[in-house]
């Protein structure tokens, strides 16, 4: 082992390099051009310089904190960086979904997420869905189609019947009336009734399933509608504040609400900014929860469920989605997501099956079992670039959050069209960059295959509008960055085929 004196000598062999020396070398490589030429801007307008130095992070407010310490930029884990491997299971049959879940648990999945097209109404139906699944060892996620929590009552009945300690049951349901509002333009019923349902669900969960998350903030929806990183963060935080405010006003305590929330973020292809986004989310939420009740941030852990981006998926050249999903998964894991869902490469076309789902699982298995991404806590710690980017993204998102707050909160901003305008502007800017090839999308505007055939209906079918003719605000619509370009690709190919037939 090196003595302290030997350590000093070793590091003494590498004297510090002045900023002027770095810039001189950069100018030499650029043949005399200004190093600022390499500065670029994120879609949020954040300037990113070509290099950073120790002095660029010295004043950052979180820089001296450790993992497990407020404001939790470095995460809550102190011994490793493990995460849950999630895969979606669409439930049209309880028996078939169970067989799929049990099979997936033997193939590397650690957390099945049941998309409930049919909801169990009786205990025997839930038993069939969860047969041969160890509820103490396997967290279970449920995606609901309504603002109700009857499934929680069935879970409690099931664990009592099996003699299982309910305190050890982990998982989540994604009750999210705000998410429904943004997607459809209206609540499930009305603001008061929906929040009372959430309150009852949280109270029930606190008493009977203390480790279960009840309330989901599905901010991935904003990303997949075209929002920027700072916008997704700001809207997630504004949604969290809306829930905290509304639910504490009707009798819950801030810690009761915050401890039952899970955040769902989508991870895009901007590799380093997406790492910083996950770190920024914990920082921002720690500040917000601490404002609601001093010391609350020290007792509530933010749960982050990550998913690779559907916004960035393409139908043309769809095998390139494997590369996109890999970098997105790496960003999520390096940022410290608690769980991760990797979408199959052909998810956008709706043709995914066992082959593409297996590849999606294997991306995460390789990151764990071969790359050991689960071994190192906060791998970005100390990186001048990532630490600086984390702070700038946090600052930018905080400013957007305050802009929404001054408008009366996220519901008021939504009803005024501010949220929709902000996202639609981002979409236009992103698509303009694709159109003029500032952003190169392999398989679409860069190295497309003119002979490729598209056998899917290229329409945006993800918008769900409320049947109520009086909307609180116009719905936000999920889409994909390349949808309009693929539509044109299809038109052009059909035109070529007609000419060839003639």
The stretch 295-309 carries a mean pLDDT of 91
Bridge partners of residue 89, in order along the sequence: 114
Q: For position 433, what pLDDT does the model report?
A: 93
- Residues contacting 288, CB < 8 A, separation 6+: 237, 240, 241, 244
Question: What would the pLDDT profile of 310-360 be if each residue is shown by its tens digit?
Answer: 999 999 999 999 999 999 999 999 999 999 999 999 999 888 889 999 999
Residue 233 burial (10 A CB sphere; 0-12, 13-18, 19+): buried
d(CA 263, CA 216) in angstroms, rounded, equals 6
Q: What is the signed CA dihedral for 281, 287, 290, 292, rounded to 10 degrees?
A: -90
**Residue 480, number of CB atoms within 10 A of its CB:** 21
| Residue whose entry in the numeric block shows the structure tokens 């590498």 | 14
d(CA 235, CA 404) in angstroms, rounded, equals 8
Has residue 496 got a pLDDT over 50?
A: no
Q: What percent of the chain has pLDDT over 70?
A: 93
Q: At what angle do helices 271-292 and 320-335 cross, to 10 degrees?
A: 40
Q: How many angstroms from the chain centroid is the CA of residue 85?
A: 14
d(CA 443, CA 460) in angstroms, rounded, equals 20
Encoding tokens for residue 151? 């499934």
Q: For position 262, what pLDDT does the model report?
A: 97
d(CA 237, CA 263) in angstroms, rounded, equals 10
Q: For position 492, what pLDDT does the model report?
A: 62
d(CA 186, CA 38) in angstroms, rounded, equals 46
Encoding tokens for residue 344? 């199959």
The conformation of residue 446, written as its DSSP 8-state character, comes to B
Q: For position 1, what pLDDT does the model report?
A: 41
Q: Domain ranges in the chain?
A: 84-398
**With bands split at pLDDT 50, 70 and 90, how would you rate the model's confidence at 95?**
very high
pTM for this structure?
Answer: 0.93
Encoding tokens for residue 320? 């390139």
**With bands split at pLDDT 50, 70 and 90, how would you rate the model's confidence at 491?**
low
Bridge partners of residue 115, in order along the sequence: 90, 143
Has residue 473 got a pLDDT over 60?
A: yes
Question: What would the pLDDT profile of 132-167 be if each residue is shown by its tens digit?
Answer: 999 999 999 999 988 899 999 999 999 999 999 999
Has residue 415 got a pLDDT over 80?
A: yes
Superfamily of 84-398 according to CATH: Methylmalonyl-CoA mutase (3.20.20.240)
**With bands split at pLDDT 50, 70 and 90, how would you rate the model's confidence at 23?**
confident
Q: For position 13, what pLDDT does the model report?
A: 74
Encoding tokens for residue 251? 């009798």
Which range scores top for mean pLDDT: 41-45, 360-364, 460-464? 360-364
Per DSSP, the residues of 262-286 read EEEEEE-S-HHHHHHHHHHHHHHHH
- The answer to whether the CB of 344 falls within 8 A of the CB of 90 is no
Is residue 314 within a helix (H) or strand (E), and if so which, with residue range?
none
Average pLDDT of the chain is 91
**Residue 371, number of CB atoms within 10 A of its CB:** 12
d(CA 308, CA 321) in angstroms, rounded, equals 10
Question: What would the pLDDT profile of 185-194 be if each residue is shown by its tens digit?
Answer: 999 999 999 9
Scanning 217-270, the segments in alpha helix (DSSP H) are 220-223, 229-249, 254-258
Question: What would the pLDDT profile of 34-82 be if each residue is shown by its tens digit?
Answer: 888 889 999 999 999 988 988 889 889 999 999 999 999 999 999 999 9
Radius of gyration of the chain, Cα coordinates, nearest whole angstrom:
24
Q: For position 18, what pLDDT does the model report?
A: 87
Q: For position 469, what pLDDT does the model report?
A: 61
Higher pLDDT, 495 or 266: 266
Has residue 207 got a pLDDT over 50?
A: yes
**With bands split at pLDDT 50, 70 and 90, how would you rate the model's confidence at 408?**
very high
* CA distances for 501 relative to 93, 494, 495, 496, angstroms: 46, 11, 10, 9
Encoding tokens for residue 436? 């003029």
Q: For position 296, what pLDDT does the model report?
A: 84
Closest listed residue to residue 183, CA positions, set 377, 447, 414, 403: 414
Question: What would the pLDDT profile of 416-441 be if each residue is shown by its tens digit?
Answer: 999 999 999 999 999 999 999 999 99
Q: For position 7, what pLDDT does the model report?
A: 47
**Residue 1, number of CB atoms within 10 A of its CB:** 4
The stretch 286-315 carries a mean pLDDT of 93
Count of alpha carbons within 13 Å of 319, Cβ hemisphere only?
4
Encoding tokens for residue 270? 């901007």
3-class SS letters over 146-206: CCCCHHHHHHHHHHHHHCCCHHHCCEEEEECHHHHHHHHCCCCCCHHHHHHHHHHHHHHHH
Q: For position 463, what pLDDT does the model report?
A: 52
**With bands split at pLDDT 50, 70 and 90, how would you rate the model's confidence at 488?**
confident
∠214-215-217 over CA atoms, to 5°? 145
Q: Any long-range contacts for 62-70 (C-beta under 8 Å, 24+ apart)?
A: 62/283, 62/390, 62/391, 63/387, 67/377, 67/378, 67/381, 70/286, 70/290, 70/297, 70/298
């Amino acid at each position: 082992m090196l003595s302290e004196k030997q350590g000093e000598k070793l590091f003494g062999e590498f004297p510090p390099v002045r900023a002027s020396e770095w810039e001189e070398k950069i100018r030499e490589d650029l043949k005399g051009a200004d190093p600022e030429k390499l500065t670029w801007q994120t879609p949020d307008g954040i300037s990113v310089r070509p290099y950073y130095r120790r002095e660029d992070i010295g004043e950052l407010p979180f820089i001296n904190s450790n993992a497990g310490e407020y404001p939790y930029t470095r995460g809550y884990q102190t011994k490793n960086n493990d995460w849950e491997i999630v895969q979606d299971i669409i439930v049209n049959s309880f028996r078939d979904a169970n067989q799929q879940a049990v099979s997936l648990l033997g193939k590397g999945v650690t957390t099945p997420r049941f998309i409930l097209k049919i909801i169990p109404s009786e205990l025997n139906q839930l038993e069939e869905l969860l047969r041969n699944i160890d509820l103490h060892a396997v967290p279970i996620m449920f995606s609901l189609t309504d603002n109700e929590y009857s499934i929680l009552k069935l879970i409690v009945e099931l664990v009592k019947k099996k003699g299982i300690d309910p305190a050890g049951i982990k998982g989540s349901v994604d009750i999210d009336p705000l998410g429904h509002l943004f997607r459809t333009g209206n609540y499930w019923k009305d603001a008061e009734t929906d929040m009372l349902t959430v309150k009852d669900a949280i109270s029930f969960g606190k008493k009977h399933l203390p480790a279960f998350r009840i309330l989901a903030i599905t901010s991935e929806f904003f990303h997949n509608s075209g929002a920027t990183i700072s916008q997704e963060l700001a809207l997630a935080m504004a949604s969290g504040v809306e829930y905290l405010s509304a639910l504490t006003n009707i009798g819950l305590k801030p810690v009761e609400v915050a401890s039952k929330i899970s955040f769902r973020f989508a991870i895009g292809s901007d590799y380093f900014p997406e790492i910083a986004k996950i770190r920024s989310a914990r920082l921002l939420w720690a500040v917000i929860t601490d404002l609601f009740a001093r010391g609350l941030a020290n007792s509530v852990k933010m749960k982050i469920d990550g998913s690779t981006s559907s916004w960035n998926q393409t139908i043309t050249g769809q095998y390139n989605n494997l590369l996109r999903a890999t970098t997105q998964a790496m960003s999520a894991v390096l940022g410290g997501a608690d769980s991760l869902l990797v979408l199959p490469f052909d998810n956008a076309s709706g043709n995914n099956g066992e082959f593409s789902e297996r590849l999606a699982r294997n991306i995460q298995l390789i990151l764990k079992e071969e790359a050991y991404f689960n071994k190192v806590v906060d791998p970005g710690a100390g990186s001048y670039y990532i630490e600086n980017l984390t702070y700038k993204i946090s600052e930018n998102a905080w400013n957007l959050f305050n802009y929404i707050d001054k408008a009366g909160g996220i519901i008021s901003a939504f009803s005024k069209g501010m949220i929709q305008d902000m996202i639609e502007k981002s979409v236009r800017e992103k698509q303009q960059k694709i159109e003029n090839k500032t952003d190169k999308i392999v398989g679409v505007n860069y190295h497309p295959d003119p002979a490729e055939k598209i056998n899917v209906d290229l329409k945006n079918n993800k918008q769900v509008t409320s049947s109520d003719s009086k909307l609180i605000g116009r719905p936000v619509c999920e889409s994909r960055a390349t949808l309009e370009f693929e539509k044109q690709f299809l038109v052009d190919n059909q035109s070529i085929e007609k000419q060839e037939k003639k």
